[in-house]
Amino acid sequence: MKKNVLLEQAHAILTSLVSPEDIMVDMTMGNGHDTLFLSSLAKEVYAFDIQEKALEKTKQKVGHLTHVHLICDSHENILDYVQSFKGVIFNLGYLPQGDKSITTKTETTLNTLHTLLPLLKKEGFIQLVVYPGHEEGRREDKAIQDWIKTLNPHLFHITESRFIHEEKNPPYMLMIYKTKDESD
């Protein structure tokens, strides 16, 4: 229930930011809920997952849509497939009802964030839903929090949405907006 509130917020933000001429990337396709949602907003959607199972599930939802490209590869290799986009979304962790050992990994996620940052254009954004409730998720959370502190506040606005009454490391959402170009 609480997670859904967060995902509803995440989708509401996407609705406000994504226009029909935009290219969007879903970095963690999973069961395809977010890919399907993005497909209703954007001109083109690229979606990544390392699990065939995720592609099978997502194909059931968007397989008929020619503007959606499902890619079975790590999001670290994004540049092999798409170099220009409005924004990207990450829903970190493991596939719901899937193998919990196949989760996003701290080093991979950070590598990908480093790759993405120079590609972000003015008004581009990165949306992350982070799950510190499991061991790897806690490492990932800490690494992401350390990384965002290194971003130039003149170029990026960063917001966080959290459940403030939850005690056990609830999920939260980060939005990283690029507000200016380096040349501005």
Applying CB under 6 A, the residues found at the interface with ligand SAM are: 28-34, 48-51, 54, 74-76, 91, 93-95, 102, 104, 108
Q: Between residues 105 and 157, which has the closer beta carbon with respect to ligand SAM? A: 105
Extract the runs of DSSP E, i.e. beta strands, from 63-163.
68-72, 87-91, 125-130, 156-161
Q: Between residues 22 and 76, which has the closer beta carbon with respect to ligand SAM? A: 76
Q: Between residues 30 and 132, which has the closer beta carbon with respect to ligand SAM? A: 30
Long-range CB pairs of 48-55 (<8 Å, 24+ gap) are: 48/73, 48/74, 48/75, 48/78, 50/74, 50/102, 51/95, 51/98, 51/99, 51/102, 53/95, 53/98, 54/29, 54/30, 54/95, 54/98, 55/29
The least CB distance from residue 92 to ligand SAM, in Å, is 6
The least CB distance from residue 33 to ligand SAM, in Å, is 3
Do 92 and 49 touch, CB atoms closer than 8 A? no
Distance from CA of residue 5 to its chain's centroid? 17
The least CB distance from residue 57 to ligand SAM, in Å, is 8
Q: Between residues 41 and 155, which has the closer beta carbon with respect to ligand SAM? A: 41
The dihedral sign for the CA sequence 60, 66, 70, 76 = negative
Q: Between residues 56 and 182, which has the closer beta carbon with respect to ligand SAM? A: 56
The least CB distance from residue 183 to ligand SAM, in Å, is 32
Q: Which residue has the CB atom at the shortest distance from ligand SAM?
A: 30
The least CB distance from residue 120 to ligand SAM, in Å, is 19
